[in-house]
A and B are shown apart, each in its own frame.
Chain A
Amino acid sequence: MMENAPVLILLAPLTGALLIPLLGFRFGRAVTMASLVASLFFGLSSLAQSLSAGPVHYHLAGWSPPWGIEIVVDPLSGVVASLVSAMAVLAAMYSGPFLAGWTRRRAGTFYSVYCLLVSGLVGIVITGDLFNLYVFLEISSLSAYALLSTGGSRSIVAVFRYLLIGTVAASFYLLGVGYLYAMTGTLNMADMSARLPNDDVAVLVVAASFIVIGLAIKAALFPLHGWLPDAYTYAPGPVVGFIAAVMAKVSAYALYRILYYVFDPVGGPRQPIELLGWASVIAVVAGSLMALAQKDVQRMLAYSSIGQMGYIMLGIAIGSPLALTGAVLHVINHAVMKGCLFMAVNGVQWKVGVFRVREFAGMAKRLPWTMGAFTVAALSMVGLPPTAGFFSKYYLALAAIESGHLSFLFALVLSSLLGAVYFFRVIEYAYLKTNDEPIEADAGTEVRELDASMLVPVVALAALVLLLGIFNQTVVTMLVVPGLPS
């Protein structure tokens, strides 16, 4: 049974998604939680296996690659897949109160699509075939469009734009894969990396550029980030934490995988990687500047995410072991931090109905645990030790210095300072300003705190932020370093 763990990581949420309608759209949340926990379990066990015995290859349908499709779980994909499942479990827990008033069929459909989203994302992470990645990319994209569209009429327009841009991105990616197929005749990642010509053929540069553009759009890299602010701002409560934490990062992971495992980072086309580097620097600064200008907290977090994706892309572009360590560490850290922040803010919006910075006045008294978690995550975003955020920025800064690109270092420092400004602004309002009006819930009783099912994930993530920071050294040596390209 356990030797099938790699494929079961994906099959668990897929089965859950199919089971919910077959059970008459009942038990949506229970089936979702069960299948996601199972997925996490299989993900962790595959990860453990890859750490002890080397990357796990699973040949589907019994055919060996390149004639069949294979799943590859190495330490990196194991970590990312487990991260996706873990965030999915917490978000499923968090989603309960939001769907309370929905009809049974609509809630069941929602949970089913949510499971499909997770299976799509996991499928992207563990696949070893370039076309298979496209299929799962589309599964995750379509389910994301569906889930995001439930956020009200503003979200519909945002989602349509996201759909157009996302499909353009997928088409760019597919065309790039087509170019590579024309030159090599194979779709398997390992086989292709062996068969790509080493010199700087023009076709390879164009193919790499297409793939980079396609995945960079999905990862919301500046200037291709246009779809993200509206999509995240109007996203419905139940999924915003998960999508904001995980979706763009999976595309960044796919980009990393292709640039370093399919293309040869040293001998292959350099131009797309350099372009990526400069775009990331601009993203880091621009994201922070734009976040500063926002009055709506959720929109501020969305622009902050654009800057943070810039950090990850910067690490990928620099490419040294230090830089890649920082990038992978930041993938983990940022998913946890941003997930916590979005869930906290959404919880405030749900309970109290506010979304502007000014309206957060005195929030700490009313929702102490929520704002406490928000503060911890915010400090981590700014980069204060011993929170997790400090360490990933530390590695990236070291990498920037080592590579001699001082402009990168400058961008990192500047964005951290800006981050301090806009996060502390919220904290200041929450803790230091007072608001004398008592907020009443519908029943007339005073609002004390978020519901347990919403609070537990928020606090758990904040605790994880601290743990990842304190045990940072262990995380790096045990999980991140084994996953770097040798």
Chain B
Amino acid sequence: MTIEALSSVNYWLAALLFVIGLYGILAPPNLVRKLMGMNIMQTAVIVFFITLGYKDDATPPIARHGDHEPVVRNYINPLPHTLMLTAIVVSVSTTGVALALLIRIHRRFGTLSEPELLEKLK
């Protein structure tokens, strides 16, 4: 593989995580596992965005003390980080609501396995 292809590793990693998460939602019968798969999917998107902001030999996007005219080349891109703060909050919120639903399902039906649930709902 050429050096050029290797530089796509971050995009491959994000894609791999995304597909693993998607598999986690589709394949396991347990609802908690599905929830974990959903979380992994969201994390994959976050990883993807963060890697977009990186610049070679640049520092985190906080202006150094005394540096009142920051040179763009020296600081990484702050925008993906900002966006992903929002995405993380959304992920936490969705997980919280999903857990509340799971607790209620468990207390009402006694099971968290999807095939059993479908049986009980018939």
Is B121 at the interface (CB under 8 A from chain A)? yes
Q: Tell me if A131 is interfacial: C-beta within 8 Å of chain B.
A: yes
* Contact residues in B for A205 (Cβ distance below 8 Å): none
Assess whether B108 is in contact with A164, with CB atoms less than 8 Å apart: no
A142 at interface (Cβ–Cβ under 8 A)? yes
A160 contacts B42, C-beta separation under 8 Å: no
Q: Would B121 and A154 count as touching, CB distance under 8 A?
A: yes
Kindly state the separation between the CA atoms of A156 and B109 in the bound complex, as whole angstroms. Answer: 11
B97–A145 touching, CB < 8 Å: yes
With A164-B34, A178-B49 as contacts: A171 and B42 at CB distance below 8 Å: yes
Q: Does A171 lie within 8 Å of B41, measured CB to CB?
A: yes
Q: Is the CB of B105 within 8 A of A164?
A: no
- B85-122, CB under 8 A of A: which get 1 and which 0? 01100100110011001101100110000000100010
What number of B residues sit within 8 Å (CB to CB) of A?
A: 31
Contact partner, A175, options B34, B45, B98, Cβ 8 Å:
B45
Provide the bound-state CA to CA distance between A314 and B42, in Å: 30
CA distance A131 to B86 in the complex (A): 10
Given contacts A153-B108, A156-B101, A163-B98, contact A168 B52 (CB under 8 A): no
Whether B117 and A157, one on each chain, are in contact in the complex, defined by CB atoms closer than 8 angstroms, is: yes
Interface size class of A (residues with CB under 8 A): 20 to 34
B20 within 8 A of A: no
Q: How far is the CA of A138 from the CA of B92 in the complex (A)?
A: 12
Interface status of A99 (Cβ within 8 A of chain B): no
A156 and B104 CA atoms in complex are apart in Å by: 8
Hey, which chain B residues are within 8 Å of A142, CB to CB? 93-94, 97
Q: Are B45 and A168 in contact (CB under 8 A)?
A: no
Q: Given A168-B25, A171-B41, A182-B52: A160 and B18 within 8 A (CB)? A: no
Q: Does B48 reach chain A (CB closer than 8 Å)?
A: yes
Contact flags A156-192 to B (C-beta < 8 A → 1, else 0): 1101100110011011001100100110000100000
Given A171-B41, A171-B45, A163 contacting B52 (CB threshold 8 A): no
Docked CA distance A160–B95 (Å): 11
Which chain B residue shows the least CB distance to A141?
A: B94
Q: Kindly report which residue of chain B lies nearest to residue A160, judged by CB atoms.
A: B101
Q: Do B121 and A164 touch (CB < 8 A)?
A: no
The distance in angstroms between the C-alpha atoms of A182 and B93, with both chains bound, is: 26
Q: Which secondary structure dominates chain B's binding surface?
A: helix
Docked Cα-Cα span, A218 to B38, in Å, equals 16
A135 and B108 contacting across the interface, CB-CB below 8 Å? no
Contacts of B31 in A (CB 8 A): 160
Q: How many angstroms from the CA of A168 to the CA of B26 in the assembled complex? A: 11
Quick one: closest A residue to B15, CB to CB?
A175
Chain A positions 130 through 150: 1 when the CB is less than 8 Å from some CB of chain B, otherwise 0: 010011001000100110010
Which residues on the B side are within 8 Å of A156 (C-beta)?
Answer: 101, 104-105, 108
- A167-B38 in contact (CB<8A): yes
Question: In whole Å, how far is B97's beta carbon from the nearest beta carbon of chain A?
Answer: 6
Instruction: Tell me the nearest residue of chain B to A154, going by C-beta.
Output: B121
- Asked if B83 is at the interface of the complex by the 8 Å CB criterion, the answer is yes
B41–A159 touching, CB < 8 Å: no
| Distance between A170 CB and nearest chain B CB, rounded to angstroms | 8
A163 contacts across to B, CB distance below 8 A: 94, 97-98, 101
Measured between beta carbons, the chain B residues less than 8 angstroms from A174 are: 45, 87
Which parts of B41-92 form the interface with A (CB within 8 Å)?
A: 41-42, 44-45, 48-49, 52, 80, 83, 86-87, 90
By the criterion CB–CB under 8 Å, are A167 and B101 in contact?
no
Select from chain B the residue with minimum beta-carbon distance to A182: B52
- Say whether A164 contacts B25, CB under 8 Å: yes
Interface residues of B in 2-41 (CB under 8 A from A): 18, 22, 25, 31, 34-35, 38, 41
A-side contacts of B87, CB under 8 Å = 174
B35: chain A residues at CB < 8 Å are: 164
Q: List 22 A-B contacts (CB under 8 A).
A: A131-B86, A135-B86, A135-B90, A138-B94, A145-B97, A149-B104, A153-B109, A157-B121, A160-B105, A163-B98, A164-B35, A167-B42, A168-B41, A170-B90, A171-B41, A171-B42, A175-B45, A175-B48, A178-B49, A181-B49, A181-B52, A182-B52
List the 9 shortest-distance A-B pairs measured between CB atoms, nearest first: A160-B101, A153-B108, A171-B41, A138-B90, A175-B45, A174-B45, A178-B49, A167-B38, A182-B52
